[in-house]
Amino acid sequence: MHIDTLDYWVENLELEPHPEGGYYKQTFTSYESITDRELSTDFNGKRSLYSSIYFLLTDKNVSHFHRLKSDELWYFHGGSSLSVHVIHETGEYKEYKLGLDLEKGETPQVLVPKNAIFGSSVAEEDSCSLVGCMVSPGFVFEDFEMFTQAELLKIYPQHKEIIRKMAYEVLPE
């Protein structure tokens, strides 16, 4: 998907800027809800069983490192492949390629487990990637945590290169 189509997708899918980078629109939220009593995650109140968004990212920005209290399943829809960068709770870093070129190691779905620190990027120049993300239990900003480079470098100095690329120097206001 060439970057010239960015305005097309933003306008026609009614996407808005996302605080972590890129553009998004919430598309579905479960009418059913759950509390943390049924789960191994702590949160206040109830959450929908799931929520889903469109997410569009270009090669000109990144989805900055952040963490959720829920699992997030990513689905490739179109355009260039997308790298999902994950620092797992164990401290292991892994790059997952979201796309349709299976011979190049891409996969059409990627699961980011709850409590992992993650972000995404598009490598192909002048391009963008359209994906879907489903979060379960459903996404709320209260369960969303952004990180600075300094915060992550204290914990994961071995991942300095990717942290400098994927984390904010200073959190946006």
pLDDT tens for 107-140 read 999 999 999 999 999 989 989 999 999 999 888 8
pLDDT confidence of residue 1: 54
| Band of residue 43 on the pLDDT scale cut at 50, 70, 90 | confident
Q: Tell whether the torsion through CA atoms of 173, 69, 131 and 126 is positive or negative.
A: positive
Of 21, 22, 44, nearest in space to 33 by CA? 44
Q: Is the pTM of this model over 0.85?
A: yes
| Band of residue 142 on the pLDDT scale cut at 50, 70, 90 | confident
pLDDT confidence of residue 38: 67
Rg value, the chain, Cα: 16
Instruction: Specify the length of the chain in residues.
Output: 173
88-109 pLDDT, tens digit each? 999 999 999 999 999 999 999 9
What mean pLDDT value characterizes the chain? 91
pLDDT confidence of residue 140: 87
CB 1 within 8 A of CB 54: no
Of 127, 114, 120, 87, nearest in space to 18 by CA? 120
3-state SS of the chain?
CEHHHHHHHHHHCCCEECCCCCEEEEEEECCCEEEHHHCCCCCCCEEECCEEEEEEEECCCEEEEEEECCEEEEEEEEECCEEEEEECCCCCEEEEEECCCHHHCCECEEEECCCCEEEEECCCCCEEEEEEEEEECCCCHHHEEECEHHHHHHHCHHHHHHHHHHCECCCCC
Residue showing tokens 């879907």: 132
